[in-house]
Structure 1
Amino acid sequence: MKRLLVFVFVFLCLPQTYVSAEVRIPPIGAEFAEERVIAIAVFDKVSADPGVILKQYPSLRLRRVFSHALNGFSIEGRRKDVDRLKRDSRISSVSESAVYEADIEDSVPFIGGDAIRGLFNKKNERLTGRGVKVGIIDTGIDYHHRDLRRSYKGGYDLVDGDRDPMEAKGNKGTLHGTHVAGIIAANGKLRGVAPEAELYVYRALGPGGKGTTEKVLQAIELAVKDKVDVLNLSLGNRVNGPDLPISKALDRAAALGITAVASNGNSGPGMWTVGSPGTSSRAISVGASTPPAKAPFISAGLGGSRKTIPIFPISGSRPWLANYSGRLIDGGLGLPKQLKQAKNKMVLIKRGEISFAEKIENAAEAGASAVLIYNNTKGSFFGRVEKKAEIAAATLSREEGKLLLKTKPYYIHTVMKIQKDQIADFSSRGPVTSTWMIKPDIVAPGVGIKSTIPEGYLSLNGTSMAAPHIAGACALLKQAHPDWTPDQMKSALMTTATQLKRNQNKYHTYEQGAGRVRLQEAAKADTFFYPSSLTLKFDRKRRTRTAAIIIENSSSSAKHYSVIQPPLQPGMVWRTPFAFTLEAGERKKVTIELALDTRKRKAAVCDGYLTVMEGAKKISLPYLYTIHEPNYPRVMGFEFVPGDRAADYRYELYLPGGADEMGIALYAKDSYRFAGFLDWLPNAPRGMIRKEVKKEKLPPKGEYIAVIFARKAGREDRIERAISIN
């Protein structure tokens, strides 16, 4: 009897979220192996006939062959048969098709867009983008818009399969592509960065602003065939890895002479949040900074405990309330029964279960003056409503929402502050996993950007708005210097950027890259660096960290260069070249070397700026190195929260190094009986995994323990969380 009592006592003392390490995760259900998927296969080195290869895999159907954007093809079939293809020696990689989302008046002059029009090219033309072909892969374009009809020259609709890339209309209408196009080349009431550039638009994202890897690859393929000079992709997923098909395709496009520009993502402010195609090594990845603008803040608390919190107005709602002082109440999830005391008050509402539009509408009907929606997962976000809201609404992070809930009494004050040259909180950060490459490469205005939308104008936030500033800048540089290569474009923009600061300290390189673009200075660059940022990698033979860089003098006269070593720190010895001279048109390869005593350095990731003097001119290059491979777990950051529609849920988790296999096993909380898999994914990519789980895929209502596991190279990591399904 004693033995039985001891056993029961130990069991009851376990934490509620604990699942014993001895609990066996059952074999994956056959339904996952039989599930039909679309995948992208890339040839190893030499192209082969996909038809010949697929004869050995009769259940797989050939969909598309890619010869420009990628050396490969797309297929459709059962997951277990796709997995067999991965073992074929003629194939270097097979990736399941992912979902990509379409995550100026003051911003254009702020980056030098007006000033550069005072410069002329060799044909004595003002720099306006004339004659430069800019491709846009997005949701389409309203080419009837009065500010865009002169700029639009053609395109293709990959969603509907025709030559009419018009934005979707109706209940599932889109506006993202038109907004992006206006930033690049609006030429009417608004003037974009390059108002006389020629726009070629490829609609790869359909209703809801979503599209697949396959559609985006097709669009890149068409852009290459159309010989565009610049290609903008204000889209992405949350997978942080350098080797995804879209990232590879942009690397290849750059090799073919196309300057590719990609948004860095809107999953900040944490490290490692950059997603593909912002992870492409040769594309210009763009983060978001603030242009000179009034931004709303909330001040809450008293005396020394007073906090000032930035908020992000929801697009489609009324302008935010300036100098509002009054009561803030907890509005729960924004359901009508939770808003009975909302009249003439500002309401704090948690994200989830119902849409933003419903939350705002419910608050308006209850007589609220404004709505604040805080996130239900870590970090901040920004939202949009299609139908014009009757009251002001804004978003803030989960952490700041909880802080406001603790502020009693709920009395707040809103203020408007002039902000400029700050990295937007939502802007994704690097570095890229596995390669430790610095991303973003550069930042541009991406907050409160007013541009064209179907039949009108609207201000939006996002790195989607920052990227077209750089695409437009590249169009101007291409007009000024038709012979510049994509690598020279990238170097000119990065080496002339201005580094931004937060509270007198520079942002990290993996937050801002080289800094905020200065277009007029970029047009005058004549020293180029390949690459324009440095990742110092461990040299086992020399026991040092090294990076090689090529410096090119493209001017018509000799130039003198010297490298200034970074400030000395304990345990660090830099070895850089002495002063040297490059004749006109000459190149030189130099090696930067760092000897490091790892016992005296604790940080896993270190970064800064290396200074190269070109005569009296100072040029800064961002650098980064790791003391050791960051000791991250195989899986982290699991969140399971209500979705934006009733009865749906969504989860997110982060795989820093990817996984051979990832899954979420559910166990009944009261009995620890296995209840099934919430999800399972083979060969899971690096980075953030976020998925909506429809109610049809959920187990019965109740309390569960979720065991989230990731297996890679023989090692398995698990995290365990208690979740509720209502």
Structure 2
Amino acid sequence: MLSVLAVLLVAGSFAPQGSANASGSEPAELFGSYDLSSSDSVTVIVELDEPSLLEAKHTGKGQTKGYLEQAREQVKEALASAAPSSEVNREYNTVFSGFSVEVAQDELASLLALDGVQAVYPDVHYDANEFDPELIDEESFSPAMMDSAPFIGAPEVWEDLGVTGEGITVAIIDTGVDYTHPDLQSSFGDYLGYDFVDNDDDPNEGPGQYHGTHVAGTVAADGGPNGEGIVGVAPDADLVSYRVLGPNGGTTEDVVAAVELAVQDGVDVMNLSLGNSLNDADWATSIALDWAMREGVVAVVANGNSGPNNWTVGSPGTSRDAISVGATQLPYDAYNAAIFTSEGVSYPSAEIMGYPSVEELLALDGEELEFVHVGLAGPGDFDDVDVDGKIALIQRGEYPFVDKAAEAKDNGAVGAIIYNNVAGVQPEVPGLAVPTIMTTLEDGQKLLSELEAGNNTVTFDIEFDQEVPESMAGFSSRGPAAPTFMIKPDVSAPGVGIVSTMPEAFGYYASLQGTSMAAPHVAGVAALILEANPERTPQQVKAAIMNTAEPVLDRDGNPYPFNSQGAGSVRPYDAITTETLVSPGSHTFGVFDKDNGRQTERNHFEVTNLSDERKRYEIDVTFHGGEDHINVNTSNNLNVHAGSTQKVNTVVQINASALEAGYYEATITLTHGDEVIEVPSIAFVMEPDYPRVTHLFLGVNPDGTIAGEAYLPGGAEYFEFWVYRDGEEYEYIGAPVTDENISAGYYQFTWDGLAPDGSELEPGAYDLYAYAEKAGQSDYAYGGTLTIEENGQVELDIAQ
């Protein structure tokens, strides 16, 4: 996935967030943070009261393009008067009602007061920040390297069912696509798509870009004219490219415009291997995708690369309707590792976290190498450290594991040891850039002590352990989606070591990893389903993919949690041939937080019998834990006539006060003879365990004070703004800002730049964090580093 940070604030004081429609007595709702005293301009997305064409169509409201354009013109005319500096960029009719506009921040308040404005969203910046590719030269390349499509069973669909995606159009909304690639050129017709970066009809990838071409190959590469290249999941599908990310990234206004144009162009499937880092389902892109699904376009999005913790999924992976995809690793051989530094010192927690290839891992076996501590292994942590040909000793935290390993490799390290920053274990992360060993915090402290004692070499003992089945990638973002408590991802697909097409400048082929690589597998599967079953709606395609997914098991044979794998790993043959659909493909029963007695929640799902005979299904709902305090009432069996759909009501009663707080998984199982469909479900007891704070956005006000905004998904009982001195010793300065009983959403504050006792900070670097507590759980988020120069100049390095 294109991992991004949604930096919502530039600087300054903040606007209040309204909750009412601008046609009433209160201003429109404002998302994000801005300096309302600054004349500096920002781009925002304006949502109108008038529904979009698709919203109106699918909610029974009256709407025409002409009337919507007239309403939008009225708002634009009023805006031109209220905010003379404003300049409208893009306008939306179909999947979103509104426009993007560049406007001075001190004119935003006037925009919020305009009649007809419902909400204003930030124009979030997207960066192509995928993992470094492993390029494959012409001499080493083999078509057999593309082993993920065969693994999920795509060749059986081509050969046994004669289905290859023919006649189905898939939109690649990405960095563009090299449509001249030998394996892709036949997938493109006269209409190539559109370039929203350069605003022209040539959506090829720009210099130095390759992500979209790699994604496109996984969907529909056809092996090239000689059949010697890559073959994607749906090799006869048609492709169109919508370039929304250039060398400097892209923005919401272009992504929404691309979704809108793709729907207008009549595509059948769209793939978006991009997103931002906020776990929120209501951003403009998610809204656009939900209406695209309702209109008949299957939208597939990557779930994110911020795993393995829960609640790390980001928009638009949080979309209610689009298919969010997590990443798995194909079966592989696992190895044990032991490390030795000096007699009498042991490291029992040492295990292999990940590696780029077995050959590189085994190259360390028996070797004695110097190791060097590089802290968190961030972009600047290697500046004064020589790790060339050595082992990088790294502390967990702040940056993803994959980025730490990539930084180590880029600086010449031949391996890495990552020690934990808290008690407990760390995840396996397949496909890391260098062979990487993980240890506990305790063993990491031993390694640091060895360095201080002058014992700066480490010896490796590596041996084969076992064959591991398809498993979840540690980097794959996990759900649930915070606002809706939906299970995310919806489904998973291979996303580690995926070999696919690259532009000629990169040698035509390369291996990449990420949920960016998993999503196009599912987009290809959707194309196969639609060729075989053109009458299916996007929701039915989604249900078929989820209902027939293969459960993903860890190395001990236990299934991963639903919020790691969704319904499981996609299997196209079964998705095409299934005779039953259960929709939605996953289920949330909501939050049960009643202090005394039982709380009752009602929900339902639908069962569609696709066969030509009546079917009788046995129904079972099983909670995996807490059963003594959970009652479920639903039909024990169900008769569904051929070609018909029936609703099944479920009533769940939970005595929350008798259970430990947390979430409880359940499986809804429908059985008809040998046909078994399992629907992942979830219920939350008391306050869910979402992170109490996920982001801290910072800026410098004109008067030198610091503007801050913390994102608190569920609010906080207690909040602190922490300041740490980053020097020879990491020193806690204090909490100059504290508050209590804060509502859910964005919490805004200003710091005067002084220590808690009112004294001025000495010159130096200071790390800034937001801390929040609620319902016995606490979390913190890093926002950036404030540097005070000797001359008093202040610089703020915002966290990326």
Alignment of 1:8-87 (within 5 A): 33-34=37-38, 35-46=40-51, 47=68, 49-54=71-76, 55-56=78-79, 57-59=82-84, 60-86=86-112
Equivalent-residue separation in structure 2 for 1:721 and 1:37 (angstroms): 21
Distance 1:299 1:162, change over 3 A: farther
Flag the 1:376–1:554 CA change in 2: closer, same or farther, 3 A. Answer: same
Q: Summarize deviations over 1:584-631 as a string: whole Å, max 9, x none.
A: 122211111211111221032111321111344211001011112326
1:185 to 207, 220, 225: 220
Which residue does the alignment assign to 1:142? Answer: 178
1:311 aligns with 2:311: no
**CA-CA distance at 1:672 after TM superposition:** 7.6
SS across alignment from 1:594: strand
- State which of 543, 562, 566 in structure 1 corresponds to 2:599: 543
1:429 partnered with 2:472 = no
For 1:174, the equivalent position in structure 2 comes to 209
**How far has the Cα of 1:61 moved from its partner?**
2.7
**Deviation string for 1:453-497 (max 9, x for gaps)?**
112211111000000000011111111111111011111111111
Provide the residue aligned with 1:491 in structure 2: 543
Q: Could you say which residue in structure 1 is the equivalent of 2:385?
A: 338
Asked whether 1:603 is paired with 2:656, we answer: no
For residue 635 of structure 1, report the CA deviation from its aligned partner. Answer: 2.3
Alignment check: 8 A CA contact 2:195 2:201 kept: yes
Two-structure CA RMSD over aligned residues (Å): 4.3
SS at match of 1:439: coil
Given the alignment, which residue of 275, 291, 294 partners 1:255? Answer: 294
Measured at CA, do residues 179 and 602 of structure 1 come closer, stay the same or move farther in structure 2, by a change above 3 Å? same
Match of 1:224 among 263, 267, 270: 263
1:410 matched residue in structure 2: 458
The verdict on how the C-alpha distance between 1:61 and 1:283 changes in structure 2, with shifts beyond 3 A counting, is same
Deviation at 1:310, TM superposition (A): 1.7
Q: 1:215 aligns with which of 251, 254, 262?
A: 254
CA contact (8 A) 2:618 2:672 kept: yes
Q: d(CA) in 2 for partners of 1:720 and 1:449?
A: 32
- Trace 1:688-699 onto structure 2 (pairs within 5 A): none
Give the distance between the partners of 2:348 and 2:779, measured in 1 at CA. Answer: 40
Q: Deviations over 1:497-538 (max 9, x none)?
A: 111222232211111111111111111112122211111136
Aligned partner letter, 1:601: L
TM-score (norm 1): 0.78
> Per the alignment, in what secondary structure is the counterpart of residue 529 of structure 1?
strand
Give the counterpart letter for 2:73 in structure 1: G
Residue 552 of structure 2 corresponds to: 500
TM (norm. structure 2) is 0.71
- Report the 3-state secondary structure (helix = DSSP H, G, I; strand = E; otherwise coil) of the residue aligned with 2:485: coil
CA shift digits 1:26-70 (9 cap, x unpaired) = 966995642422111222354562332241532433221111231
Conserved 8 A contact 1:107-1:292: no
Shift of 1:632: 5.5
Q: Distance between the aligned counterparts of 1:397 and 1:638, measured in 2?
A: 28
- Structure 1: distance between partners of 2:435 and 2:196: 34
Deviation of 1:160 (Å) = 0.7
CA distance in 1, matches of 2:783, 2:231: 51
User: Which moves more between the two structures, 545-554 or 283-292?
Assistant: 545-554
Judge conservation of contact 2:353–2:438 (CA < 8 Å) in 1: no
Between the aligned partners of 1:332 and 1:248, the Cα distance in structure 2 is 46
Deviations 1:111-133 (A, max 9, x none): 1111111233xxxxx21111110
Task: Tell me the amino acid that sits aligned with residue 416 of structure 2.
Answer: L
Q: Which residue of 1 aligns with 2:193?
A: 155
**Cα offset for 1:348?**
3.7
Which residues of 2 match residues 505-544 of structure 1 at below 5 A?
Answer: 505-537=558-590, 543-544=599-600
The one-letter code of the counterpart of 2:354 is I
- Contact (CA 8 Å) 2:353, 2:427: kept in 1 or not? no
Moved more, 716-725 or 38-47: 716-725
Q: Do the aligned partners of 1:323 and 1:415 also contact (CA within 8 Å) in 2?
A: no
After TM superposition, the structure 1 = structure 2 runs for residues 452-471 of structure 1, keeping only pairs within 5 Å, are 452-455=501-504, 456-471=508-523
Does the CA contact (< 8 Å) of 2:75 and 2:117 recur in 1?
no
Q: Which residue of 1 aligns with 2:241?
A: 201
Indicate the larger mover: 631-640 or 665-674. 665-674
Cα deviation code 1:407-429 (max 9, x no counterpart): 96622245676443111000000
Match of 2:685 in 1: 627
Distance in 1 (alpha carbons) for counterparts of 2:547 and 2:49? 35
Distance 1:404 1:518 in 2: 46
Query: Which residue pairs with 2:493 in the alignment?
Result: 444
Cα pair distance change 1:533/1:350, threshold 3 Å: closer
Shift of 1:322: 4.5
Q: Percent identity?
A: 36
Match of 1:578 among 630, 636, 639: 636
Gapped regions of structure 1 (runs ≥ 5): 1-25, 121-125, 386-391, 641-650, 677-681, 687-698
Change (3 A) 1:96 1:618: same
Q: 1:638 to 1:58 in 2, by over 3 A?
A: closer
Aligned residue among 432, 453, 475 for 2:527: 475
Residue-by-residue CA offset, 1:548-607 (whole Å, 9 max, x unaligned): 111111221101112113158221111111312111122211111211111221032111
In 2, Cα distance between equivalents of 1:215 and 1:267: 24
Structure 2 residue identity aligned to 1:196: D
* Deviation string, structure 1 residues 254-313 (Cα, Å, up to 9, x no partner): 011000000000000001000111111111100001113457775436888152222253
Q: Secondary structure at the match of 1:425?
A: coil
> What aligned pairs does 1:640-659 form with structure 2 within 5 A after superposition?
655-657=712-714
Return the alpha-carbon distance in structure 2 between the equivalents of residues 637 and 296 of structure 1: 37
Q: Give distance in 2, aligned partners of 1:219 and 1:526.
A: 35
Q: Give SS of 2:367's match.
A: strand
Structure 2 CA distance for partners of 1:480 and 1:627, relative to 1, 3 Å: same
How far residue 362 of structure 1 moved from its aligned partner, in angstroms, is 4.8
* C-alpha deviation, 1:91, in angstroms: 3.1
Helix, strand or coil at the partner of 2:154: coil
Q: Which amino acid aligns with 2:459?
A: Y
1:395: how far off?
A: 6.2
Change (3 A) 1:402 1:249: farther
Deviations 1:104-151 (A, max 9, x none): 62111111111111233xxxxx21111110000011111221111111
Q: Check the 8 A contact 2:692/2:714 in 1, yes or no.
A: yes
**Shift in Å, 1:202:** 0.6
**Corresponding residue for residue 155 of structure 2:** 114
Q: Which of 605, 619, 624 is equivalent to 1:563?
A: 619
CA distance, structure 2, for counterparts of residue 421 and residue 383 of structure 1: 11
Q: Quote the Cα distance in structure 1 between the aligned partners of 2:267 and 2:327.
A: 25
The aligned residue for residue 97 of structure 1 is: 123
Aligned AA for 2:178? D
| Residues 238, 295 of structure 1: alpha-carbon distance in 2 compared, 3 angstrom cutoff | farther
Which one of 434, 438, 461 corresponds to residue 393 of structure 1?
Answer: 434
**Counterpart in 1 of 2:796?**
none
Task: Specify the SS of the correspondent of 1:476.
Answer: helix
CA contact (8 A) 1:380 1:395 kept: no
Aligned residues: 645
Please say if residues 707 and 721 of structure 1, whose CA atoms lie closer than 8 Å, have aligned partners that are also in contact: yes
User: Contact 2:298–2:526 (CA<8 Å) still a contact in 1?
Assistant: yes
